[in-house]
Every structure is written in structure tokens, then in C-alpha cells.
């Protein structure tokens, strides 16, 4: 009897141990791990076993793996913080970023990487991606087609690879809150796109780009994407001596119109977004900035079909501030999405750094609040770790810092809104247009003869101070 009791207790302890192991599964998902129960793509255990779900701990917290300012469920200015931001993780920078730059080889190799671009490796990255989002508490993601699945020898084989990875992504999305913010086609890396995609001088390349976008639209729709982005990385020129600009712009417009038509044909209701950028890698890109993109859409009758995805680092490369680009898009009804990043003023290329400047984040959120939000768009972290940051936890720290920075920006806008001094300063600056004659001007009913009579009556106008220093003082007091 005693032996039976000991055996029973041993079996019970074994069952409890097995249940706990299955429930916790904390072994590392790397190439050396010896965990049981792996999937067909070689995934075993957790990808981030030493990191638990990131929580809000408040401004006094010293824990780098916690939110100090971003409190997802907290309501500010009538919306929950998570609904103002709709944060999204960019697959390409977070899981395909290598640390390489124009002058140096890759510096990062995550524990789960095997050095290949195989289909099994693509699936393993996708699983890591979803675990990362779950622990970070971010509910949206975005991708380039060629970043999530490898090229095949033919377009048919490439599409089959993409279908297999997308099927896994669909499976991982189901049963949780994670959704696709947007998808896009990578039309700039492959040598076939050396002269551009929709603006290539070769009709075969134009057709191949169309087929690639067709497939990318289909899988974005299949995954429930809320938007689709066009980034014309090589839609521009290096020299006008060998370029027919008119013809290339016409081709680009025809391409975008065909994409809009196909979107409707397959029943995809997401927003189509154009992402302006002035240069790099081309000398001049056709969607230089928000104003240029607006003029292009207006000329070709595409205003009702597209909005803009504004990237802050692209804004500075075009000679503008991010705030300027956001306001240009907003006042023209085109603000659709924001790539939340920044550049280094001492470096001349697109460095895609995480936004950590509180002042700039406050200006960004001023535009977003004035816009009433950016849904169905969001804030996509098109940002990468610095070349020298090589620890897995750096992936979390970078995103936490970026999210906290924008959250502080939103809190600052709430202060400015509650105070009202800045809005009142702007109102007073234009109050002369609130008069009868000002109203006639703004209604388009004041001709030059009428205005000349008023000048004769008034004499030399007095011009009040713009109070720029006061405006800056009010703004800084909220930071």
C-alpha cells in the first residue's frame, strides 16, 4: 500500500510538472534550444523568454521595460490613448533589420535566425513577430511582401511562398486583437526595378510591378488590412538627360488608377496611401513632399482614391518639418497615416530613428488632434534600432521609448487645449478678418474696387505684433 501511494504521488507530480511546462513554455526559441513540441517550421519555445508583457507603471518607474506615459485604456480628449495612436510594428525594420549601413556589414543576428531566407525561416520570423506584438501590447502590424516571404524562381513560385506565410499570419491573427494596419509591395530592392517600377522605361517591368501589386492587394485584403501603401522608392530619375518625365508621370498615374480599380474589384475597402519622399535612392522622386503628391493626385483625378502616409524623416529630407507635412496633408483632407520616426540633423540620409523628441511629438499630435484622429490609419514605427544596439531587449526598449514619447506629446496637447492660450493667440492674430469686410473677402465677394475704397477710407494700416515668442513660450510651458 505504501509503495502504491508513493507511485501515485510521483505520477501526480509528473502530471503537474508537465501541465506547468506546457503552460509556461519559457525555453528560448533559438537554434540550440532542446525544447519539445516544436512546429513544422522549427519553432520551439518562446522567442523572448526573459521578457514579460509590457505594462504601464507611470512616470516614476525606473523599469526600462515598462510604459511611463502610454496608458492604452486611459481616455484623453475624448478617446482612449490606444485609439488616438493605433500603433503598429513594422515587420521589415523590426525583424529584417540587420544593422547594415552604406559603410558597414550587418551587426545583428537574432537567436532564432539561421542565416537563410528560406520559407521555414520566414515562418519562424512571423511567429517571433506575433509574440513580440503580444508582449509589447501593440495591436497592429504592417509589411512589405518580400520581407515576410522569400522570392521564388518564378512569380508563381514567389506567390506560393507568400500565400504560405500569409496563411500562418492569418492563423496567428485569429483569436487575438492583432490586426493588419497595412500591406505594401516592395518595388525597389530587386535589380529589375533599377529604373523604377511604374515609371520604368521597360514595359515588362511595369507589367511585373502590376502583377506584384495585384498580389499584395489580395493578401492585404485577405488579412483584413485597413490600408495599402505605395512607396515609390525608385519612381523618379537620376538624370533628366535620359528621362521623359511627362511619360513617366503619365505611366505612374495609369498604374495607380489601375490599382484603385482592382481594389474595388476584389471588394477591398481599405484606404490607398501614397508615401511622399524627396530623394534617396533616386536623385528626385516624383512624390517629393505632401504638396507635390497633392498636385499629382489633383492633376490626374485621383484625389478621391488616395490619401497620404506622412513619414517624419522624409519630411526633413524634403526641407520641411514633420508638422508642416502633416498640416499640408490635413488641410487638404489627405492625412491618412503616419510613419513615426525621425532623422539625425547631422546625417544626410534617411536614418529611420525612433522619435524621442518631446517637442516634435507634441507638434505631431497637434495635427492629429486637429484632424480628429487618423483612423483607419495609425502610427507605424517605420524605425530601426541603431547599428550598435544588438540585444533582443533593445527591440522592446526602442518601441517603448517611441510610444511613450508620442503619449507625452498627446498629454501636452491636452494641456494646451485645456489652457486655451495658444488657440486664443491665433484667433486674435486673425481677428481683423472677423469684421464685415473680412467676411466678404473670405466669401470671395470683395473685388479690388471695393478694397481700394476701404484703403482710401482707412489710410495706412497698423500691423500688430505676431507674438511669436509668446506662442513659443506657451508651447514650451506645456512640455
For the chain, give me the number of helices (H) and strands (E)? 17, 14
Distance separating alpha carbons of residues 312 and 151, to the nearest angstrom: 30
Q: Cβ(108)–Cβ(390) under 8 Å?
A: yes
Q: Which three cell numbers stand for residue 291?
A: 504638396
Q: How far apart are the first and last CA of the chain?
A: 74
Paired residues of 272 in beta bridges: 228, 306
Q: Cβ(107)–Cβ(444) under 8 Å?
A: no
The cell 519612381 sits on which residue?
Answer: 235
Selection from 171, 145, 179, 147 nearest residue 159 by Cα: 145
Q: φ, ψ for residue 182 (rounded to 5)?
A: -165, 160
The cell 531566407 sits on which residue?
Answer: 117
144 annotated active-site:
yes
Residue 442 burial (CB < 10 Å; 0-12/13-18/19+)? exposed
Cα dihedral sign, 151-122-143-389 = negative
Choice among 93, 129, 144, 314 that is catalytic:
144
Distance separating alpha carbons of residues 406 and 401, to the nearest angstrom: 9
DSSP code string of 153-209: SSHHHHHHHHHHHHHHHHHHHTTSS-EEEEEE---SSSGGGTT-STT-S-HHHHHHH
Q: Which three cell numbers stand for residue 359?
A: 517637442
Residue 373 burial (CB < 10 Å; 0-12/13-18/19+)? middle
Q: Could you give the residue numbers annotated as active site?
A: 144
Amino acid at each position: 500500500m505504501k509503495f502504491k501511494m508513493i507511485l501515485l504521488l510521483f505520477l501526480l507530480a509528473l502530471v503537474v510538472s508537465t501541465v506547468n511546462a506546457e503552460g509556461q513554455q519559457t525555453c528560448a526559441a533559438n537554434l540550440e534550444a532542446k525544447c519539445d513540441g516544436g512546429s513544422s517550421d522549427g519553432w520551439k519555445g518562446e522567442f523572448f523568454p526573459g521578457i514579460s508583457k509590457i505594462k504601464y507603471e507611470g512616470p516614476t518607474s525606473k523599469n526600462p521595460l515598462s510604459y511611463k506615459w502610454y496608458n492604452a485604456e486611459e481616455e484623453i480628449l475624448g478617446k482612449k490613448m490606444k485609439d488616438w495612436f493605433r500603433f503598429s510594428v513594422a515587420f521589415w525594420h523590426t525583424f529584417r533589420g540587420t544593422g547594415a549601413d552604406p559603410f558597414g556589414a550587418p551587426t545583428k543576428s537574432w537567436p532564432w535566425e539561421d542565416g537563410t531566407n528560406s520559407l521555414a525561416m520566414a515562418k519562424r520570423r512571423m511567429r517571433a513577430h506575433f509574440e513580440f506584438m503580444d508582449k509589447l501590447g501593440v495591436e497592429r502590424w504592417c509589411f512589405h511582401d518580400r520581407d515576410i516571404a522569400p522570392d521564388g524562381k518564378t512569380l508563381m513560385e514567389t506567390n506560393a511562398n507568400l500565400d504560405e506565410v500569409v496563411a500562418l499570419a492569418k492563423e496567428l491573427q485569429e483569436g487575438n486583437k492583432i490586426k493588419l494596419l497595412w500591406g505594401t509591395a516592395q518595388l525597389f530592392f530587386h535589380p529589375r526595378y533599377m529604373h523604377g517600377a511604374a515609371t520604368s522605361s521597360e514595359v515588362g517591368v511595369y507589367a511585373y510591378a502590376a502583377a506584384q501589386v495585384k498580389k499584395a492587394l489580395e493578401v492585404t485584403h485577405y488579412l483584413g488590412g485597413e490600408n495599402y501603401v505605395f512607396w515609390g522608392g525608385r519612381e523618379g530619375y537620376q538624370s533628366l538627360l535620359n528621362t521623359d518625365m511627362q511619360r513617366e508621370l503619365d505611366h505612374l498615374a495609369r498604374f495607380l488608377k489601375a490599382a484603385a480599380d482592382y481594389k474595388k474589384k476584389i471588394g477591398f475597402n481599405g484606404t490607398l496611401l501614397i508615401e511622399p519622399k524627396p530623394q534617396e535612392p533616386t536623385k528626385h522622386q516624383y512624390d517629393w513632399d505632401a504638396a507635390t503628391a497633392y498636385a499629382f493626385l489633383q492633376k490626374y483625378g485621383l484625389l478621391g482614391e488616395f490619401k497620404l502616409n506622412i513619414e517624419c524623416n522624409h519630411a526633413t529630407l524634403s526641407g520641411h518639418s514633420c508638422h508642416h507635412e502633416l498640416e499640408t496633408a490635413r488641410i487638404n483632407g489627405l492625412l491618412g497615416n503616419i510613419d513615426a520616426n525621425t532623422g539625425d540633423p547631422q546625417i544626410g540620409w534617411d536614418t529611420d530613428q525612433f522619435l524621442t523628441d518631446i517637442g516634435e511629438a507634441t507638434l505631431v499630435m497637434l495635427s492629429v488632434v486637429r484632424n480628429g484622429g487618423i483612423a483607419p490609419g495609425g502610427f507605424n514605427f517605420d524605425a530601426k534600432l541603431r547599428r550598435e544596439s544588438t540585444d533582443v531587449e533593445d527591440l522592446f526598449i526602442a518601441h517603448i521609448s517611441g510610444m511613450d514619447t508620442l503619449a507625452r506629446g498627446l498629454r501636452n496637447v491636452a494641456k494646451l487645449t485645456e489652457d486655451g492660450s495658444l488657440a486664443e493667440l491665433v484667433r486674435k492674430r486673425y481677428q481683423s478678418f472677423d469684421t464685415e469686410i473680412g467676411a466678404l473677402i473670405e466669401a470671395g465677394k470683395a473685388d479690388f474696387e471695393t478694397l481700394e475704397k476701404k484703403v482710401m477710407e482707412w489710410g495706412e494700416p497698423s500691423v500688430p505684433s505676431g507674438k511669436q515668442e509668446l506662442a513659443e513660450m506657451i508651447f514650451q510651458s506645456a512640455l
